[in-house]
Structure 1
Amino acid sequence: MASMAITRHELTRRREQLQDLQRYLAVLEADHDGARAKLLGFRQRYLEALGPLMRELDELEAQLHQATALLSDALKRQGVDAPLPATPAAKPWPDIAALPSATPLPPEPVGPTMDLPPPSLKTLYRRAAMRFHPDLAPHGPEREVCEQRMMIVNDAYASADRHKLESMLLAAGEAPEKVIGGPADAVRAWLGLCEHLVQGRIRVVQAQTALLHSLQMHQLRIAIERAEAGGMRPLDIMAARLRAQISERRQELYIGERVGGDVSLAADFLRKRYQRVTGR
């Protein structure tokens, strides 16, 4: 089946579309990386301000669970069924992954074949004039050489001698595809593959950014930074609440370790703790 030649205009348009996609992708990647950097910075600040207090509270909760489990076992041996809340589950920090590496785009195919329509004779002439016109050369021997070459260019154009113009341009360093055509099917396939890869990467970056914005930590960062912009100090308020909870758990642990000898007090203690932990 004969190949459908891609015109030079179409080739330029497709390349510009690909470049637009790549620029859009670069913006999306920069937005993602900026949001991720902000979130990592916020997490570090959050842990520095509250991490030690949170660890202390978790340790107290673990001790409380152990104390209440012992109380519950002791009451069961005495025929009293006391509710026992489940072991508090640890809440790991969510991963804030970086973007996966992008698949590199393949190199553009090159080669002097006739699949890509060659430029018109007039286009060749104009390109040769840009190369050899004496008015574009400095004075001296180089200008004289250009004058001689321009005479040959004019004669070749007047006689429609494409081969002469092509030979002169190729010898002067012009790319073969700009002079005698290029691999149309290969170029078309390359453009299609590049567009597919870039569009796939765009979907990956958009999905990763949406996942980043869905994290509870992201919402917390937004809320805290808005409060701070309004003159509040939410991290200090949260630290004060954690200290209050630590004080309450210490008191609760103190009581729990000392009510074991009184069945009524022990059962009441377990009931209240169950209500606090479960909200029921």
Structure 2
Amino acid sequence: MNSEIICQITEEEWEFKQKDVELNNLETQLAQAELELATFRGELDSFQARYICAIGSRYFELDEIEAEIAEIEAQQNPDDQAAQKKAQQAKAQAKESKKAAGNQRDLKKTPSRFKPTESLKKLYRQIAKRIHPDLALNDQERVRYQKLMAKANQAYQTGDEIGLQSILRQCKKVGDNEKGEIEINKLARIIRKITQIQERLSAVKREKAEIRNSSLYQLKTKVEKAEGSGIDLLAEMARVLDHQIQMAIAKLEQMRLKGNGNIVS
């Protein structure tokens, strides 16, 4: 009888140890996956800022001029529904371009590329492993982890190593508070965490696939490929837009000289 109990306890402990090792490995995988996703996003955000600075502001300028031209043409042809519709669409496009360009159009320097250091990556990885929201034991803990991870993501993308160090210290305090907690069924808790991590790993994979399929990422890939051949694709696109802007300005000035430039806002 006693030997059966000992055998049963040994089997449970063995399963617990196996699952604990599996959980630890998955936590490491998840931390790395989150790091890669955060880096992925940081690089794309950095490229978007460069694109907006080089191209977005020019599109905004061109769309503004074309909206003004369309408005003049609509005034010249008040009964032409197509001209009226074109003017409305051009105005909406200019508004959208302005929103997309944002404050970047006023920047004098091109935004820097996102290049996280190894120490920055290490800090982020440690934080993701300690306080990933999917590892929370309850809703209250999940909310706390989410807030800390949001701060960590912001610090990582801005290269704030001191900020990440501060967050990591908070993570350690969180861990210390949890050491005294008593689990009624530790094995069930570990199995639940394993399932949660596996689900999150799948979600991260999907998120990365969605980013890769986005038009912005595909443009980023083209630009980087061109850079490998010594071609500045963004600069070439900017030159084309500059030419289009000059042509549009010339057309607008010609229309104004003819006395048709009184625009009703």
Rounded Cα–Cα distance in structure 2 between residues aligned with 1:37 and 1:93: 18
Rounded Cα–Cα distance in structure 2 between residues aligned with 1:102 and 1:200: 12
Rounded Cα–Cα distance in structure 2 between residues aligned with 1:60 and 1:259: 17
Checking the alignment, whether the CA contact within 8 Å between 1:71 and 1:260 is kept in structure 2 is: no
The residue type paired with residue 202 of structure 2 is: R
1:114-164 residue CA offsets vs partner (Å, 9 max, x unmatched) = xxxxxxxxxxxxxxxxxxxxxxxxxxxxxxxxxxxxxxxxxxxxxxxxxxx
Pairing of 1:69-84 with structure 2 (within 5 A): 69-73=74-78, 76=79, 81=80, 83-84=82-83
- Shift in Å, 1:53: 2.2
Rounded Cα–Cα distance in structure 2 between residues aligned with 1:104 and 1:10: 20
Q: CA RMSD in A?
A: 3.1
Structure 2 equivalent of residue 105 of structure 1: 136
Structure 2 equivalent of residue 67 of structure 1: 72
User: 1 or 2 for the larger relative contact order (CA 8 Å, sep ≥6)?
Assistant: 1
Structure 1 equivalent of residue 192 of structure 2: 193
Q: Give the paired residue count.
A: 172
Structure 1 equivalent of residue 212 of structure 2: 213
Rounded Cα–Cα distance in structure 1 between residues aligned with 2:197 and 2:81: 61
Give the counterpart of 1:87 among 62, 66, 89: 89
**Larger Rg: 1 or 2?**
1
Secondary structure, counterpart of 2:133 in structure 1: coil
Checking the alignment, whether the CA contact within 8 Å between 1:65 and 1:87 is kept in structure 2 is: no
Structure 2 equivalent of residue 57 of structure 1: 62
Pairing of 1:226-237 with structure 2 (within 5 A): 226-237=225-236
Query: If the length of structure 1 is used for normalisation, what is the TM-score?
Result: 0.53
What fraction of aligned residue pairs are identical, expressed as a percent?
23
Rounded Cα–Cα distance in structure 1 between residues aligned with 2:237 and 2:81: 33
* Residue 45 of structure 2 corresponds to residue 46 of structure 1: no
List alignment gaps of at least 5 residues for structure 2. Answer: 1-7, 102-127, 139-181, 261-265
Rounded Cα–Cα distance in structure 2 between residues aligned with 1:30 and 1:231: 30
Structure 2 equivalent of residue 13 of structure 1: 18
List alignment gaps of at least 5 residues for structure 1. Answer: 108-181, 262-280
1:87-117 residue CA offsets vs partner (Å, 9 max, x unmatched) = 13325549xxxx9x7244339xxxxxxxxxx
Rounded Cα–Cα distance in structure 2 between residues aligned with 1:187 and 1:19: 14
Rounded Cα–Cα distance in structure 2 between residues aligned with 1:242 and 1:39: 23
Structure 2 equivalent of residue 171 of structure 1: none
The residue type paired with residue 136 of structure 2 is: L
Checking the alignment, whether the CA contact within 8 Å between 2:56 and 2:100 is kept in structure 1 is: no
1:7-47 residue CA offsets vs partner (Å, 9 max, x unmatched) = 22211111122122212212211111111111122122223
Checking the alignment, whether the CA contact within 8 Å between 1:72 and 1:83 is kept in structure 2 is: no
Rounded Cα–Cα distance in structure 1 between residues aligned with 2:48 and 2:67: 24
Rounded Cα–Cα distance in structure 2 between residues aligned with 1:34 and 1:65: 43
The alpha-carbon distance between structure 1 residues 228 and 257, as it changes in their structure 2 partners (threshold 3 A), is same
Give the counterpart of 2:38 among 10, 17, 33: 33
Checking the alignment, whether the CA contact within 8 Å between 2:37 and 2:204 is kept in structure 1 is: yes
Structure 2 equivalent of residue 276 of structure 1: none
Rounded Cα–Cα distance in structure 1 between residues aligned with 2:77 and 2:40: 48
